Amino acid sequence: MKKPQGIILYEGPSLLDGKPIVCIATGFHASNNPKTGKMLQTWIMRSHVNPLVAWKNGCDKSVCGDCIHRRLKSCYVNVEQAPNGVYKAYKRGRYERLNVDNLRFFLGQKLRIGSYGEPSAIPVEVWERVIPFVSAMNGYTHQHKTCDKSMRKYLMASCDTANDAKEAQKNGWRTFRTILPWEPKKENEFVCPASKEGGNKTTCSSCLACGGLSAKVKKNPIIEAHGSFGRGARFTRIMKLRKYKQKFTHLIPIIK
């Protein structure tokens, strides 16, 4: 059976706002992402709105929820590239739907849950159709305060402050925290080894520390703010100004 270009895992309402979304798995042939290494990627997008358009007009709330990086336009994902390309291929009918036959292509693979988009916008049952076939997974959620708590088994709580991480850990999550360059790590944290500051010692597919409670690693990784087109720098600047309460006071409530 020929490897698919991609497999549609879900088409239906977003659990975040009820709008129609789609989740597509790609990477069955190869993955050239230098940070993640060879992993299947999953893309969660509005099914009837190009992700670039959704990013510009706010329709991406259906797939990003209340993530602060959506509102601050500081997300590290460049929607003009992979999400845009995947969406166009989806609209051309290049991808097949998940079925009992093509499940075999997940066997032994490593899966990234939510390469773009919020994994908890999709029913957990959808992920659990393919997770038993893969050898490992990683994923992150900014909706850890409100999403299905069973996702703790598969996802990291994505946090942007030490207080946010502390609260998430109290609620049973492992965390992945974005820090500013001068912030120290906590006793129960370690620097992401696939990051620049971690020396790019490995890839996500080799490290596998970000698989929620399923991962063998128990400490919590941290990474410095990053992103394309200066988005990481923008987030760093806003957080620094927030710290000294110099500007951006209107953003303080959403960066707690």
Question: Which of 13-22, 195-204, 242-251 is predicted with the least confidence, judged by mean pLDDT?
Answer: 242-251
Whole-number pLDDT of residue 255:
46
Q: Exposed (0-12), middle (13-18) or buried (19+): which is 182, by Cβ within 10 Å?
A: exposed
Q: What percent of the chain has pLDDT over 70?
A: 86
Q: CA nearest 21: which of 43, 53, 39, 6?
A: 43
> How far apart are alpha carbons 156 and 153 in whole angstroms?
9
Of 18-27, 179-188, 197-206, which has the strongest mean pLDDT?
Answer: 18-27
Q: Report, as an integer, the average pLDDT of 127-138.
A: 97
Per-residue pLDDT band for 76 (boundaries 50, 70, 90) equals: confident
Which residues have a Cβ under 8 Å from the Cβ of 5 and sit 6 or more positions away? 26, 28, 29, 89, 94, 95
**In sequence order, what are the residues at sequence separation of 6 or more whose Cβ sits closer than 8 angstroms to the Cβ of residue 134?**
40, 106, 107, 108, 109, 110, 111
Q: Which two tokens stand for residue 244?
A: 């000294």
Q: How far is CA 186 from CA 33, 145, 161, 165, 221, in A?
A: 29, 21, 12, 10, 10
Instruction: With CA atoms as reference, report the closest residue to 81 among 104, 110, 52.
Output: 52
pLDDT tens string 25-72: 999 987 666 677 889 999 999 999 999 999 999 999 999 998 888 877
Which pLDDT does position 75 carry in this prediction?
Answer: 81
Q: For residue 178, which of 157, 202, 151 has the smallest C-alpha distance?
A: 157
Tell me the C-alpha distance between 140 and 206, whole Å: 17
Q: What is the pLDDT of residue 69?
A: 81
Output the CA torsion sign for 222, 228, 231, 233.
positive
Q: What is the pLDDT of residues 165-198, one digit of tens each?
A: 999 999 999 999 988 878 889 999 999 999 888 8
Predicted pLDDT at 252: 47
Q: What is the pLDDT of residue 128?
A: 97
Return the structure tokens found at 44.
């969660």
Residues 6+ apart with CB under 8 A from 231: 69, 73, 74, 75, 76
